[in-house]
Chain A
Amino acid sequence: MLSNLLHINTVWVMASTMILGIAAGGIGCLAYWKRQNLMSDALSHAALPGVVVAFLIIQEKNLLLLVIGAALSALLGAFFIQWFTSASRITEDTAMGMTLSVFYGVGVMLLAIANRSPGGNQSGLNNFIYGQAAAMVRSDVITMVVLAAIVIFIIFIAFKEWKLFLFDPDFAKGIGLSIRGMNVLYTIVLVTTIVIGIQAVGVILMAAMLIIPSVSARYWTHSFKMMILLSSVIGGISGAFGTWVSSTGSGLPTGPFIVLTSAAIFAISLFFGKEHGIVIRYIQFKMQQRSSQLDQQVMTGRGGRSQ
């Protein structure tokens, strides 16, 4: 009876990490072409203090409210990065590195305080660091699925707009697409995806869910649409499979297994990917070499080895 219940719970959790992976894979492609992979890492770390502060204020673990707190502090982090970069001589990567570590440091410090408060250590707030999908209850799952579905919808409905925005923003602006609007929308979907994922995957590894599927997809296609679809599929598979593996042992964190799954897919893509995969490239080179050697032999009329 109990194992059956656990089983149903696992299916629920797997479904939610799968849809999270799909959303993260899609938005990861946008981040990839916006050249902002490190940004997603900075934002997920910056979400931690918001989670803890929200918990300290409401004194209970309501995922939606914690997610709102996380979003606010991630946005604050994004604002700092933007502000440092534009108002000072600090470069963007420096600003991101600083924001990431300072926000994370503050988050861990607040976490220590929250854990000392009554009921704090049972709250499962520590799960936000490494991720524990199994700790999610039904309402958490629903919150996550609904928000992820909205993100996926926004990515696919504005598909052609994303493409234009990422490829040629100046031209896009010239024909009337609001670049500021697109930037705001991009930041909203990025932050939403990050904050709904941090409970399951953890703030440290969340960025990997955005980055790894998109670079893996890059090795299989030359079409933006296919890249987003593939990246989403890879994200979804990694999410579900990683969750399933972590559910086989008690207390295994979810995040690392999801990341390892997508890393395995990346390794396969890197070597065997149809577009510029290492093995394929080597085979193509060898074939070209052979055919041009044959050409040479025909041209010169000699059967000897060239080179």
Chain B
Amino acid sequence: MVSSVINVDDLSASYQKNKVLNDVSFEVKEGTITAIVGPNGAGKSTLIKTMLGLHPKLTGNVSFWDSPFKTAKKKIGYVPQRGSVDWDFPTDALDVVTMGLYGKIGWFRIPSKKDKEKAMNALKKMGMESYAHRQISQLSGGQQQRVFLARALAQDAELYFMDEPLAGVDASTEKAIMTILKELKSNGKTVLVVHHDLQTVPEYFDHVLFLNKKVYAHGETEEVFTKDNIATTYGGDMQWVGKGDQYVIQSTSH
């Protein structure tokens, strides 16, 4: 019996007047990789942010290992969208990765040599050790994403939330990231990923959550990743185009 790591119960959230999440409920089991998919504006990022207390919730309850976020946060790692920070900020890759250790280092303490080594190891895992002292503004988009992943690895969490880690990265970075995700899974960690590329879902993820303001389907990829579920989640203005094994969604109206 695999225990559930996340319990989301009737979660709702809004941005100003617009309700972006409506009675979202689901459970996530330990050691799974779940893709959260849905059209733009479906509330995917908002779901993650609301679960992590970064966005206020209207109703509902979220618990991790049957306890609230506050007590569980040390075991949770978060990879925000790459565009959410200012990459002009004067710092280098190693320094950003070290930020993942700040919670463990303790406030008002200076990172030790050991902490820097840990950060370096995380960078190595992402194949970025030669860029450790490179200015983050001089990294490519894919490299910046790897730095963010390395920072999450340095956190050494049990549960990871990643917001579009594969958006706008090149093929080798995508491969590197997916290798790490699989490694995390084989180490018994749980990962939730906001994902936008439907074609790669069956290959990369063992669970899928279809989200468009509410949950349309959730479960093992083999069972729920169907044409019907995709069509209902993506709504009426989307046309389903099956090209052999590939899943392609095209919008009929722009």
Q: Does A177 contact B (CB under 8 A)?
A: yes
Q: Does A33 contact B (CB under 8 A)?
A: yes
The A contact surface, by secondary structure, is: helix
How far is it, in angstroms, between the C-alpha of A299 and the C-alpha of B153 when the chains are bound? 45
Q: Of B78, B102, B151, which one neighbours A160 at CB under 8 angstroms?
A: B102
Interface pair A174/B52, CB less than 8 Å apart: yes
Binary flags per residue of A191-231, CB closer than 8 Å to B gives 1, else 0:
00000000000000000000000000010011110110000
Q: Does A175 contact B (CB under 8 A)?
A: yes
Q: Does A282 contact B (CB under 8 A)?
A: no
> B62-96: which have CB < 8 Å to A?
73-74, 76, 78, 80, 84-86, 89-92, 95-96
Interface pair B89/A157, CB less than 8 Å apart: no
Q: Of A167, A175, A176, A177, which one neighbours B91 at CB under 8 angstroms?
A: A167
Q: Of A158, A170, A176, which one neighbours B108 at CB under 8 angstroms?
A: A158
When C-beta atoms are compared, the residue in chain B nearest to A159 turns out to be: B110
How far is it, in angstroms, between the C-alpha of A54 and the C-alpha of B89 when the chains are bound? 40
- Given A167-B89, A170-B84, A227-B90: A176 and B99 within 8 A (CB)? no
Interface pair A221/B90, CB less than 8 Å apart: yes
Binary flags per residue of A10-30, CB closer than 8 Å to B gives 1, else 0:
000000000000000000000
When C-beta atoms are compared, the residue in chain B nearest to A160 turns out to be: B102
How far is it, in angstroms, between the C-alpha of A63 and the C-alpha of B229 when the chains are bound? 70
Q: Does A173 contact B (CB under 8 A)?
A: yes
Query: With a CB–CB cut-off of 8 A, which chain A residues contact B74?
Result: 176
How far is it, in angstroms, between the C-alpha of A164 and the C-alpha of B135 when the chains are bound? 16
- Given A175-B73, A222-B135: A170 and B89 within 8 A (CB)? no
**Nearest Cβ on chain A to B204's Cβ, whole angstroms:** 24
Q: Does A163 contact B (CB under 8 A)?
A: yes
**Nearest Cβ on chain B to A165's Cβ, whole angstroms:** 11
**Nearest Cβ on chain A to B154's Cβ, whole angstroms:** 11
Q: Does A166 contact B (CB under 8 A)?
A: yes
Chain A interface extent, by class: 20 to 34
Interface pair A177/B107, CB less than 8 Å apart: yes
Query: With a CB–CB cut-off of 8 A, which chain A residues contact B78?
Result: 170-171, 174
Interface pair A160/B110, CB less than 8 Å apart: yes
How far is it, in angstroms, between the C-alpha of A176 and the C-alpha of B135 when the chains are bound? 26
Interface pair A168/B90, CB less than 8 Å apart: no
How far is it, in angstroms, between the C-alpha of A166 and the C-alpha of B74 when the chains are bound? 21
Q: Does A161 contact B (CB under 8 A)?
A: yes
**Nearest Cβ on chain A to B207's Cβ, whole angstroms:** 22
- Given A160-B110, A175-B73, A175-B103: A224 and B52 within 8 A (CB)? no
Interface pair A157/B108, CB less than 8 Å apart: yes
Interface pair A174/B90, CB less than 8 Å apart: no
When C-beta atoms are compared, the residue in chain A nearest to B101 turns out to be: A175
How far is it, in angstroms, between the C-alpha of A172 and the C-alpha of B100 when the chains are bound? 9
Query: With a CB–CB cut-off of 8 A, which chain B residues contact A173?
Result: 52-54
Q: Of A33, A168, A175, A222, which one neighbours B155 at CB under 8 angstroms?
A: A175
Interface pair B73/A174, CB less than 8 Å apart: yes
Query: With a CB–CB cut-off of 8 A, which chain B residues contact A170?
Result: 49, 54, 78, 80, 84
Q: Does B202 contact A (CB under 8 A)?
A: no
Query: With a CB–CB cut-off of 8 A, which chain B residues contact A167?
Result: 85-86, 89, 91, 96, 99
Interface pair A223/B84, CB less than 8 Å apart: no
Interface pair B91/A224, CB less than 8 Å apart: yes
Query: With a CB–CB cut-off of 8 A, which chain B residues contact A166?
Result: 89
How far is it, in angstroms, between the C-alpha of A177 and the C-alpha of B96 when the chains are bound? 16
Query: With a CB–CB cut-off of 8 A, which chain A residues contact B52?
Result: 173-174
Interface pair B76/A171, CB less than 8 Å apart: no
How far is it, in angstroms, between the C-alpha of A84 and the C-alpha of B137 when the chains are bound? 34
How far is it, in angstroms, between the C-alpha of A144 and the C-alpha of B145 when the chains are bound? 45
Interface pair A218/B90, CB less than 8 Å apart: yes
When C-beta atoms are compared, the residue in chain B nearest to A218 turns out to be: B90
How far is it, in angstroms, between the C-alpha of A175 and the C-alpha of B151 when the chains are bound? 12
Interface pair B85/A174, CB less than 8 Å apart: no
How far is it, in angstroms, between the C-alpha of A186 and the C-alpha of B90 when the chains are bound? 19
Residues of B within 8 A of A (CB): 49, 52-54, 73-74, 76, 78, 80, 84-86, 89-92, 95-96, 99-100, 102-103, 105, 107-111, 135, 137, 151, 155
Give 9 A-B contacts (CB < 8 Å), ordered by A residue: A160-B109, A161-B102, A164-B102, A170-B78, A171-B151, A174-B73, A175-B73, A218-B90, A222-B137
